[in-house]
Amino acid sequence: MIPAVLPTYNRAPLEFVKGEGSWLIEKDGRRFLDLGAGIAVNALGHAHPALVTALTEQANAVWHVSNLYRIPQQEALAQKLVDTSFADTVFFTNSGTEACELAVKMARKHFSETPPERTEIIAFEGAFHGRSSAGIAAAGSEKMTKGFGPLLPGFKHLPWGDIDAVRAAIDTRTAAIMIEPIQGEGGIRPLPEADLKALRSLADEAGILLIFDEVQCGMGRTGRLFAHEWAGIAPDIMMVAKGIGGGFPLGAVLATERAAEQMTAGTHGSTYGGNPLACAVGCAVMDHVADPSFLDGVCRKAGLLRQKLEGLVAQHPDVFEEVRGTGLMLGLKCRVPNTDVVKAAYDALLITVPAADNVVRLLPPLTITDDEIAEAVSRLETAAGHVEPAPQT
Ligand SMILES: *Cc1c(COP(=O)(O)O)cnc(C)c1O
């Protein structure tokens, strides 16, 4: 019999009843150190006092009014994002995949008035843009699209990071290039800075739009507010979600005035998107994460974690192959099945997240302490000692 909850997830038999900072407490009382952060969502950890205050104060004032009226919390959050990024304007969604929907719509709308009508979007193998129809069509993998056709047309899929293929693929129908600066679900695969720069140049030369999906790698995760800042370039449109709500459902599309110029009244909407509760929390998240000293702290802690992980990989070459990623968005490429490592980590009371390419993702709260980093790596060592090692070759 089908369960009451549609069984689209393979869930671990864990039930967390409380969160405190970097810790999740299971129903039976066990304390798990959380290096998953709800898949890069709990940027400020669990039950951060500033977020609890922002949420409860707003809950006592007004929860929801709809976008038929001005929403000061939404205007404040948009202004914070505009002030700290390339963007001139922001639309709020409830999730990453809704941000993908708008990014696609915006890119197409941009070219709808000026011939030639460009509708095609270049995307990449191994990408993840969420589970909406545009999101799965953009990713294109069989795993996500099989049985869901006919798919939204207009996506061209190229090998991950193949700049020559992008150059060759751009033609008079191309509207945009859509890419994650660091693939998350795809296995923590960063695009080299030179390639990000090359994509910017190619888009400029062709007069097309560059769309970055920073749903996972944005909001301070890499030690900059947005991951593309490391490359010294900016997109025209960017999708954000996950960390921006710190656990409250919230997403956003950031855009330049030029990219967004066709998005006039009536062209897009959302009942919930950017409601007072979500944006009150989003403002509190931004006040912490966009602070340069907070981001410096992320960089410093990321260095510490990375150094310890390199040691772990060196000590367990039969379990791990390498550490990869940027900032506190790190992946351990495994020689054994990554799910074995994730399970062994659960037994060591440590939460990690599997990704494609046989990678175990480490996405701790950005507020993790030095002691917690040391404790996490010690628990990973315990886990590595308990998995069946890969056969010697
Ligand atoms: C998680 C994710 C999404 C989808 O976000 P949802 O909130 O689950 O819809 C899109 N893009 C990237 C890069 C993601 O990591």
pLDDT > 90 fraction of the chain, expressed in percent and rounded: 97
Q: How far is CA 146 from CA 55, 95, 101, 114, in A?
A: 40, 23, 20, 35
Instruction: Please tell me whether residues 74 and 93 are part of one structural domain.
Output: yes
Q: How confident is the model at residue 122 (pLDDT cuts 50, 70, 90)?
A: very high
Contact predicate 176/161, CB 8 Å: no
Could you tell me the CATH number of the domain that includes residue 105? 3.40.640.10
The stretch 292-299 carries a mean pLDDT of: 98
* pLDDT given for residue 233 in this prediction: 98
Q: How confident is the model at residue 393 (pLDDT cuts 50, 70, 90)?
A: low
Query: Looking at the domain assignment, is residue 392 inside a domain?
Result: no
Query: Looking at the domain assignment, is residue 358 inside a domain?
Result: yes
| 3-class DSSP state of 258 | helix
Instruction: Please tell me whether residues 98 and 112 are part of one structural domain.
Output: yes
- Token pair listed for 48: 């951060």
Instruction: Please tell me whether residues 171 and 212 are part of one structural domain.
Output: yes
Give the integer Cα–Cα distance in Å for 111 and 205: 16
Atom of ligand 1 nearest to the CA of 249: 7
Instruction: Please tell me whether residues 153 and 241 are part of one structural domain.
Output: yes
Q: Which residues line ligand 1 (CB under 6 A)?
A: 95-97, 128-130, 180, 184-185, 213, 215-216, 241-242
* pLDDT given for residue 353 in this prediction: 98
User: Is 270 flagged in the annotation as binding?
Assistant: yes
* pLDDT given for residue 390 in this prediction: 80
Query: Looking at the domain assignment, is residue 6 inside a domain?
Result: no
What's at 126, amino acid-wise? G
pLDDT at 191 over 80: yes
Query: Looking at the domain assignment, is residue 374 inside a domain?
Result: yes
User: Is 271 flagged in the annotation as binding?
Assistant: yes
Contact predicate 92/77, CB 8 Å: yes
Instruction: Please tell me whether residues 273 and 150 are part of one structural domain.
Output: yes
Q: Please, where are the H alpha helices in the chain?
A: 37-40, 49-61, 72-84, 96-110, 133-139, 142-145, 163-169, 193-206, 257-260, 276-289, 292-315, 338-347, 370-386
pLDDT at 346 over 70: yes
* pLDDT given for residue 218 in this prediction: 98
Mutate-to-test residue for ligand 1 from 94, 124, 129, highest number of ligand atoms within 8 A of CB: 129
- Token pair listed for 67: 């976008």
Please give the distance of CA 329 from its chain centroid, rounded to a whole number: 10
* pLDDT given for residue 117 in this prediction: 84
Query: Looking at the domain assignment, is residue 207 inside a domain?
Result: yes
Contact predicate 84/294, CB 8 Å: no
Could you tell me the CATH number of the domain that includes residue 380? 3.90.1150.10
Final residue before a domain boundary, out of 233, 265, 289: 289
Instruction: Please tell me whether residues 112 and 210 are part of one structural domain.
Output: yes
Rg, Å, the chain Cα set: 21
Final residue before a domain boundary, out of 265, 289, 313: 289
**Total count of domains within the chain:** 2
Q: In this predicted model, what pLDDT tens digit does every residue of 203-234 receive, in sequence order? A: 999 999 999 999 999 999 999 999 999 999 99
Q: Against a cut of 0.95, is the pTM above it?
A: yes
> Which range of residues forms the domain containing residue 351?
16-47+292-387
Give the integer Cα–Cα distance in Å for 360 and 380: 11
Instruction: Please tell me whether residues 76 and 96 are part of one structural domain.
Output: yes
- Token pair listed for 248: 């409250």
User: Is 97 flagged in the annotation as binding?
Assistant: yes
Please give the distance of CA 226 from its chain centroid, rounded to a whole number: 10
Final residue before a domain boundary, out of 271, 289, 307: 289
